[in-house]
Structure 1
């Protein structure tokens, strides 16, 4: 079966569709852990996570293309490893050429996310074009959401948690949470840290994180789904 077009299955494209359509209030829903499902559809249970892999030396990051059918997996590090953070984020979305050719827009409104994390709890609230569109609370085993009624069901809190944690959780915690068939390569260049999730020598997720005293800039590229997030945050 052929996969859906990249623009439709991408987290960023769905948020954009919501922001352009407008919102008329939020509804609240709570979700508890479901029985086991395929890894790409749910957060893995913490007790099922694999042992830590030994550290690796910095390596050159590959640039070979990813097959269109290879979606970025959904995973999450342990909530107990969450850093203590309070962030006011401005998120800019850029679509790759293959996403543009599938119908993704060339320009996207800036999104704002207020995020608070500490060991045991992650909370995030999103606004777009001045409207509240989404709020998430995650304690490691349960996700609670307040969602606009116009927010498509395909927009998943698990994917936001994955992207956020991939860039900001401790490296070894991320390494323990990734699928068995993937590797995490980490390198540093001055004040910049680079994290790359690799499968079969091809990049799946790549985060470039630059931190200063009061601000951080994260560029997170999702190759299979065809988008890049530029996230500027004040601490």
Structure 2
């Protein structure tokens, strides 16, 4: 497991501080229930509207650990495109994006519930995932949780993508793709356009955006409303998945 200095103590310090900030903003919401679960595993008391993190019973003798099962679901959620053939094989691969954190133009802290579905209609087998995302002028930080266990963290400072992962998380989980989707959803359109290679264009409007290759839509981002609290649906036609993101904001400043 690779351990970089910017990531040490991320779950205990950064997640704990952000979780406390989110206590009021998330009270009574579905995000609150999921936030309380991973907060409890870090020893953080979060009185979120009466929702207490459930106590996990001791595993039965010979039983398969539930955490192993949830890590596999997390893998299916993050990189469904690696586990199946693209829905449209003629579509080109999406360009890699690693924009500078300063290009975001503000700061953002979100507790999120992430739901994954396949575009071909077949069951994905993936369960909702809890995540904590923070963006500021210095870095992008993401922590992913399954069954109260932190199984993936990434930190991007504009030069190096530092990744820390649970040993059971397969190597196929690509942190660079996770960063790419974050930027496609949240970065200002003009910054994304400047980073696109020839032949790629980005259309942006109040209700979402579309990424096109030679005029053909490859990825779309839809929003229910303006602002960080909106539900976002990212549909990746090249890699064959739909990602629904429900967010609860805290400490948002000058979000583009």
Relative to the length of structure 1, the TM-score reads 0.65
1:86 aligns with 2:109: yes
RMSD of aligned Cα (Å): 2.3
1:174-193 to 2 correspondences below 5 Å: 174-188=192-206, 192=207
2:211 pairs with 1:197: yes
In the TM superposition, what are the counterparts of 1:142-153 in structure 2 within 5 Å? 142-153=160-171
Q: How does 1:18-167 map to 2 (within 5 A)?
A: 21-22=69-70, 66-68=88-90, 70-82=92-104, 83-97=106-120, 100=122, 105-167=123-185
CA contact (8 A) 1:77 1:176 kept: no
How much does 1:201 deviate?
2.4
Q: Secondary structure at the match of 1:216?
A: coil
Written as runs of structure 1 = structure 2, the 5 A alignment for 1:187-226 is 187-188=205-206, 192=207, 194-211=208-225, 215-226=229-240
Q: Within 2, Cα distance between the matches of 1:166 and 1:69?
A: 18
In 2, the alpha carbon distance for the partners of 1:205 and 1:143 equals: 23
Structure 2 match to 1:233: 247
Q: What is the total number of aligned residue pairs between the two structures?
A: 168
Instruction: Provide the rounded CA distance (Å) in 1 between the counterparts of 2:180 and 2:227.
Output: 25
Query: Is the 8 Å Cα contact of residues 116 and 124 (structure 2) preserved in structure 1?
Result: no
| Counterparts of 1:171 and 1:207, CA distance in 2 | 12
* Deviation string, structure 1 residues 178-225 (Cα, Å, up to 9, x no partner): 22220111122xxx3x11110122212111123466722110011011
Shift of 1:233: 0.4
SS of residue in 2 equivalent to 1:185: strand
Q: Distance in 2 between matches of 1:204 and 1:169?
A: 18
Equivalent pair of 1:66/1:204 in contact (CA under 8 Å): no
Report the Cα distance in structure 2 between the residues aligned to 1:85 and 1:179, rounded to whole angstroms: 27
With normalisation by structure 2, the TM-score equals 0.60
Alpha-carbon offset, residue 20 of structure 1: 5.6
- Secondary structure at the residue paired with 2:197? coil
Alpha-carbon shift at residue 138 of structure 1 (Å): 0.7
Q: Deviations over 1:113-145 (max 9, x none)?
A: 101101121111001232211011110110111
Q: How many Å separate the matches in 1 of 2:246 and 2:214?
A: 31
Structure 1 alignment gaps of length 5 or more: 1-17, 24-64
Return the alpha-carbon distance in structure 1 between the equivalents of residues 197 and 67 of structure 2: 32
5+ long unaligned stretches in structure 2: 1-65, 72-86, 250-256
How far 1:79 moved relative to its partner?
Answer: 1.8
Q: Which has the larger radius of gyration?
A: 2
SS of aligned partner of 2:230? strand
Residues 6-33 of structure 1: per-residue CA shift (max 9 Å, x gap): xxxxxxxxxxxx976356xxxxxxxxxx
Higher strand share: 1
